Amino acid sequence: MTVQSLTLHVVPLDTAEPLLPILHDALPDEALCRAWMANPAHTLYAAQQAERIVGAAVMQWGRESELYLLAVEANRRGQGIGQAIVAALL
């Protein structure tokens, strides 16, 4: 499955609010989503197609890196977007 023109970019913590709806859909605990988004040890990513945010990821990089949360917009699931995000992060 080919994912059309997906762009993954880092989102600064102070401009991450637009990621909340997608992340919150994947993790219903809004307080935990906000805590992960605000943690300076985490790196936030937005996946965009045609200027629209269709996915997001929360990573912690280090000796033992961890993908805390991977989320894809509900109506875009099953199209390979999550796989493309993971591939771009590797």
CATH at residue 24: 3.40.630.30
Joined tokens for residue 79 = 């199209």
Instruction: Give the ranges where the chain is alpha helix by DSSP (H).
Output: 20-26, 30-38, 81-89
Residue 82 inside a domain? The answer is: yes
Q: Which residues of the chain have pLDDT under 70?
A: 1-3
| pLDDT at position 1 | 46
- Residue 29, helix vs strand vs coil: coil
- Residue 28, helix vs strand vs coil: coil
Q: How many domains does the chain have?
A: 1
Residue 48 inside a domain? The answer is: yes
| pLDDT at position 3 | 62
| pLDDT at position 32 | 92
- Distance, CA of 29 to CA of 90 (rounded, Å): 27
